[in-house]
Structure 1
Amino acid sequence: MKFNKYTFFLIGYLIQNIIFWIGIQFSKITDLPINLLYSFSNGFLGTAAGIMGILISRHWGGSKSAVGKGVLLISLGITSWGLGTLIWSFYNFVLHVPVPYPSWADLGYTLAVPLWTIGVFYLSKATGAKFSLRQLRGRLMLILLPLLAAVASYYFLYVIARKSSFVVEGGLLKIFLDFYYPLGDWIILTVAFLIFGLSLQYLGGRFRWPVMILILGFVFMFISDFTFSYTTTVESYYNGHLADLLFTVAIFVISFGVAGFDTKET
């Protein structure tokens, strides 16, 4: 995988945000505008990286090819997540109010999961995953890997993050989101496990590193969601928390994987 203008931008932005985050930690600031600015920075990263991915998908014919569809949908998912985070920041940074739950930010977050899932499905067509399903090993993975992801999701997102407590309250939309977010995290982890397990022996050439990096990015997204869920449960979260840095890394890694599909490498 060669570096290009997109990867250089992403690396530069990651370094900037890491320095930004370290500064927040050393200053021990938790409730000033600089904290809100970090969340805004994450939203900008997601939105900009998503748009770059959409441009990259055009090199593969956009919706006319499996790779093009995969890159396009994953990029739309990144954009959706970024817009959700910008809306989150708008509540805090502009309106100066706590982010309500549910809010319009949740629309961006909820749309990201199906876009990523369908996008990875199309990419799997180009990575040889379907050939694995013709073998007993592949069919076993199709059963066992989602179960493994379910166990991991249950333990981290329910036992640890929510301390084995799940209270159903509020309106229908809130109840829906309370169930949807853990389910979405399970889907993200399952997708990462499946594409890795089913495609590993067939990955080669220009696809290998971009796909591997994408998988790593979705694992980071699961870790980020877990950290955010846990810190909000124990009421230790603030804008600029470690959870936000993990979101920075997750979006960076997913976007870096997408950038690897750029056919006009420089």
Structure 2
Amino acid sequence: MQARLEKLKSQKFLLFSLTVTGFAILIAEYIGKETAIVFANWIFVPIPGSMLILAIISAKKHGITGNHGKAWIAFTVFSACWFIAEQVWLVEELFYHEKTFPSGADFFYIVGYPAYFIFAILYLKPFKSAISKKMIILSSLVAIAVLVPDLYWTLENSTDEDQFSIILGAIYPVSDSIVLVPAIVGIRLFLGGKVNFLWTLMFVAILLEVAADTGFQYFSLDDSYYTGHPVDILFLWSYLLFSFGIYDNIKIFGNKMNSYKDRESLR
């Protein structure tokens, strides 16, 4: 009973956090573009920063042995890369007034993708008996269905860019489609009752990130994107979902090092 009350409390706090963050961005955008740019840049410090801190705590609890420990090390690398990317973006835009694409931030964003993919594969490993070939094929088809129009759209509308920028821009939809496969599999496991809701946030979060990336590309191509644009709400929500997913993991396992054997805790 106590565990259910704690989960309900966590879910309510998550909903509150998502609502407040979304309204904060919309209010800043309503005040004016310059306010939105400054506010959004600075809010991308504490929210991704919280995700990184929680990832470090989780990685420290699980150690470096076993697939679970390795999974959280990979996620910590992912969190660190994207946190650094956000700060590079902030410095280049607010202090150096430079273009944020292409920029040094892209290196860290791109390096983060394989780290997340490794995490997702290791994260799903204890449920491999519940993952069918059909599930993997369907997830891959969905990812391809997202990739093809996004990639075509990016390449078709980037003819005025230099070759490096075109290649860099194409890397994002490809990377998004790759991490989308384990994310869809993870969500499918939740729908099948294999894992609990808050654990599934680790996959819903990347789903939101892919949606945000698609929106970012669309608005960037028609020159209507700016930091603080409403599409940034999805990026922030993605970081929040990751944070709550990690926090739930920490609460479930505590100091248990044999967490992979504790399958019932995930339901």
1:46-195 mapped onto 2 (5 Å cutoff): 46-59=48-61, 61-99=62-100, 101-126=101-126, 128=127, 130-133=128-131, 138-155=132-149, 157-158=150-151, 162=154, 165=157, 167=159, 170-172=162-164, 174-195=165-186
RMSD: 3.1
Deviation readout 1:10-43 (Å, 9 max, x if unpaired): 778656533431321321x11x255133123214
Q: Report the number of matched residues.
A: 250
Asked if structure 1 preserves the Cα contact closer than 8 Å seen for 2:48 and 2:83, the reply is yes
Which whole-Å CA distance do the structure 2 matches of 1:163 and 1:179 have between them? 7
Per mean C-alpha deviation after superposition, the further-off stretch among 73-82 and 11-20 is 11-20
Paired letter, 2:118: I
Distance change in 2, residues 1:34/1:179 (3 Å): closer
Match of 1:196 among 187, 191, 208: 187
SS for the counterpart of 1:22 is helix
State how far apart, in whole Å, the 1-side matches of 2:115 and 2:78 are: 5
Identity among equivalent pairs (%): 20
Match of 1:230 in 2: 218
Alignment equivalent of 1:251, drawn from 226, 235, 239: 239
Name the amino acid aligned to 2:80.
T
Residue by residue over 1:74-112, the C-alpha shift from the partner in whole angstroms, topping out at 9 and shown as x without a partner, is 23312211210110110111112332x332111121111
Match of 1:24 among 21, 25, 28: 28
Q: Secondary structure at the match of 1:63?
A: coil
Aligned partners of 1:192 and 1:216 also within 8 Å = yes
Distance 1:104 1:226, change over 3 A: same
TM-score normalised by structure 1 residue count:
0.80
CA 246–36 in structure 1, closer or farther in 2 if over 3 Å, else same: same
Kept in 1, the 8 Å contact 2:25–2:36? The answer is: no
Unaligned runs of 5+ in 1: none
1:9 and 1:148 map into 2 onto residues whose CA distance is 31
Code of the residue aligned with 1:26 in structure 2: it is: Y
Q: Distance in 1 between matches of 2:13 and 2:193?
A: 30
TM-score after normalising by structure 2 = 0.80
